[in-house]
Amino acid sequence: MKPYEIVKDIFIVGGPDITDGRDACVYLINLGELILIDTGAGWSVDSIIGNIKKLGLDPKNLAKILVTHCHIDHIGGVPEIKRRFGSIIYIHELDASPLENGDPVLTAAKWYQTSFPPTPVDVKFSLPEEILTIGQQKLICLHTPGHTPGSICIYLDRNGKRILFAQDLHGPILPEFGSNLDDWDRSTQKLLDLDADILCEGHFGIYKTKQEVRDYILSYREQYGMD
């Protein structure tokens, strides 16, 4: 599959069907400056950058990387992209130390038979909701613990649509990741309440109607015994 524009100014530039089977989906928002949401598992940085160029965008404008949580399939490309473009790295404070310590278990690097070098982050979120304003556009970063303690989801309202980036909302819920099912219950309820039009998800792709987004979230709530 090729990278493409999902809706105006929002692109998928990496993921299991686009760059590498080990990558979680990598999304890009073009607001004049470029904002990357997650970075893949680390083996595909060149392909991700190539895809950004193919879409007619300049990777030199990669100003920010929003990291949804501390797992290797999402963070692997962070050190290299930071090194090449000086992008500012944002993550929730509760998921920051696995990156900063290169923790093989909490980053799940061990699972992927690789390692993650200790990598300092620039900005640590700590509030239930943090708002980044870029030009006229607000990006809302919601703390949605469950899969990991510091998982975040990001949403924006643009051109009449609410677009939600919710990477590993499906789980898994595992003690070694610090997962918490009660937190997950509250977080997924919050995501339902957003009533998003489009869901850009981490491993299973993109859902493009309110109903599909709702059904997707509800299917996992049912699986985990909620409602």
Binding site for Zn ion (CB under 5 A): 24, 71, 73, 168, 202
Closest approach of Cβ 74 to Zn ion, in Å? 6
Closest approach of Cβ 15 to Zn ion, in Å? 10
Per the listing, tokens 């990496």 go with 14
- Nearer to Zn ion among residue 31 and residue 70 (C-beta): 70
- Nearer to Zn ion among residue 98 and residue 202 (C-beta): 202
d(CA 59, CA 49): 6
Closest approach of Cβ 138 to Zn ion, in Å? 26
- Nearer to Zn ion among residue 24 and residue 132 (C-beta): 24
Closest approach of Cβ 70 to Zn ion, in Å? 8
Number of residues assigned to the chain = 227
- Nearer to Zn ion among residue 31 and residue 108 (C-beta): 108
Residue 20: strand, helix, or coil: coil
